[in-house]
Structure 1
Amino acid sequence: EAPPEALLEAAARALCDRRAGVGADGWLLVRPPSQGSPASIRLFNSDGSEAEISGNGTRCAAAFLCDAGLAGPEVEIATGAGVKRLRLLERQGMRFEFDMDMGGVEILELHTVMEAGGRTLDCTLAWPGNPQCAVFVDAIPEGWERLGAELERHPRFPNRTNVSFVRVADRENLEVRFYERGAGATESSGTGSTAAFAAARARGLAGERAIVHTPAGPLRLRVEQGSYFLTGPAEIVAGGEFYFSGDAANQR
């Protein structure tokens, strides 16, 4: 049972705490499908802020629904960025592979120069359902986490932004690092990977398909008739109960 609305931010911080909680980049509240309505999710970052969507998180929600017998191989999930459709490709134990229709990606600014950490950065601003700043680099810079933290809270972004550092290896392979709004440096990002691929395509650096290489492993991207599709895994690694005290969380 979820805490009251007023305590959701505190609950997210408590759950995601890597010392006293479960430890995570974010927390998903999943509502099962009912009376013809699709399942739905709400996403809270580890700092307690609420986000529109997580591509990887939506796949995790789909895995949870499939494992619980609440969804079949075709899954619809309502998010803050609209209804997303996923197709289960394979299941081995508690590891699932989904193909997810991410929808369209709006390129807000193809080339914009940003200053951070004493560097001049070549960026593309995109919207795959949440704010994204893709920084194109010849090599992943040392201290990219510090640059990401500075860009996340740059005055240009009053509501903050997600940041990705994109190295184009060739037209079919991108190496990407992620600094996510409200979570910090993460191992992977579905929306960040989608935005990086869309930005590379808009710059003429990628074709209709590409593999995005993340620290957590590869994600496969393609575009069909203006919609971006992401294929990647979701794995259930544990289950249980978390005993949340609103008073204790508010004291942290």
Structure 2
Amino acid sequence: MEMNFTKMHGLGNDFVVIDAVRQHVSLTPERVRFLAHRRTGVGCDQVLLVEPPADPQRAAFRYRIFNADGNEVEQCGNGARCFAVFVREAGLTEATVIPVETAAGIITLQVQGDGQVTVDMGPPRLEPWTIPFEAAAAAPTHTLQVGGETLEIGAVSMGNPHAVVVVEDVHKAPVERLGPLIERHPRFPRGANAGFMEVVSRERVRLRVFERGAGETLACGTGACAAVVSGQLQGLLDRQVAVDLPGGRLVIEWAGREDAPVLMTGPAQSVFTGRIQL
């Protein structure tokens, strides 16, 4: 099978984006791993698939995400911004407000005049069974035993599960050591993305994220959303927060109510197009 693809990135979080509207595409975990491999394939953190929607009355497209390990996951915020730019550059739509289906539900993408993309990620999920996370009840923080240490984490789902740890210095945070342990912790039955957040002020944080199935990435959109939600729930952050990731800055806004959507704004960029034999 030969197919066209586009390489894109959002703050260095990179993707292979595939149009499955105008070409037949059959992805298997093996094919995803081949595409994602940085020496023998194209190289990326995630593979994004653009498909026709199951319900055209509610959405313009279906958006599917596959991690570099071949597993399909529920949500990817940086990928969502790339998705919005891709469908417009590919001539699939001229709309600036684009509702799309994901495994986590409908999200809305809005392309701004300056090229930035705002994603309505929907409300955060805080009840443990919705994350999923094993705990008796929702709380701003939970105690987690990890690698012989006791951590205080915020547990949040933005359509995918996140554990957020507040640290004094994000540059010295034990991301490589604790990230994989949190990712596979038994209290997260579907795994977790591990975020390490340094609070600079009530309006700014620094963040590193060890992503489930991908390792540490230069940026994680859902991780930035989860970090701001967790920081607000702990009384550390204001409504709008600049999140500085290794790849650049996202702006996250949340009104602080469980029913309020989390809004994420940031850039997305195409790098090159190609054709590959699978």
The secondary structure found in structure 1 opposite 2:116 is strand
Point out which structure has higher relative CO (alpha carbons under 8 A, 6+ apart): 2
Match of 2:247 among 216, 226, 238: 216
1:20 paired with 2:40, answer yes
Asked if 1:104 corresponds to 2:115, the answer is: no
1:228 Cα deviation from its structure 2 partner? 1.0
Structure 1: any 5+ residue segments left out of the alignment? 245-252
What is the RMSD of the two structures over their aligned residues, measured on CA atoms? 1.7
- State the number of aligned residues: 238
> For residues 276 and 24 of structure 2, what CA distance do their matches in structure 1 show?
11
Residue by residue over 1:58-83, the C-alpha shift from the partner in whole angstroms, topping out at 9 and shown as x without a partner, is: 11111110101222211111111111
1:126 aligned onto 2:192: no
Q: Deviations over 1:180-199 (max 9, x none)?
A: 11111111111110000000
Q: Are residue 9 (structure 1) and residue 37 (structure 2) matched?
A: no
- Residues 35-184 of structure 1: matches in 2 within 5 Å? 36=57, 37-71=59-93, 72-90=95-113, 96-108=115-127, 109-140=139-170, 141-184=172-215
TM-score, normalised via structure 1 length: 0.89
Letter of the structure 2 residue corresponding to residue 240 of structure 1? G
Correspondence for 1:195? 226
The superposition leaves residues 22-54 of structure 1 with CA deviations (integer Å, 9 ceiling, x where unpaired) of 110110110156955421111110000110010
- Please tell me whether the aligned partners of residues 107 and 124 of structure 1 are also in contact (alpha carbons under 8 angstroms): no
Distance in 2, Cα, partners of 1:165 & 1:35 = 39
TM-score under structure 2 length normalisation: 0.81
Instruction: Quote the residue 1:231 is aligned against.
Output: 265
Cα pair 1:32 1:70 within 8 Å, conserved: no
Q: State, as a whole percentage, how many aligned pairs show the same letter.
A: 37
* AA in 1 matched with 2:276: F
The one-letter code matched in structure 2 to 1:26 is Q
The equivalent residue for 1:247 is none
Q: Which stretches in structure 2 are left out of the alignment for 5+ residues?
A: 1-22, 128-138
Q: Which amino acid is 1:85 matched to?
A: T
Cα 1:13–1:194 change in 2 (3 A) is same
Deviation at 1:100, TM superposition (A): 1.0
C-alpha separation in 2, matches of 1:27 and 1:77: 17
Give the conservation status (yes or no) of the 8 Å contact 2:173–2:196. no
Contact 1:3–1:11 (CA under 8 A) maintained in structure 2: no
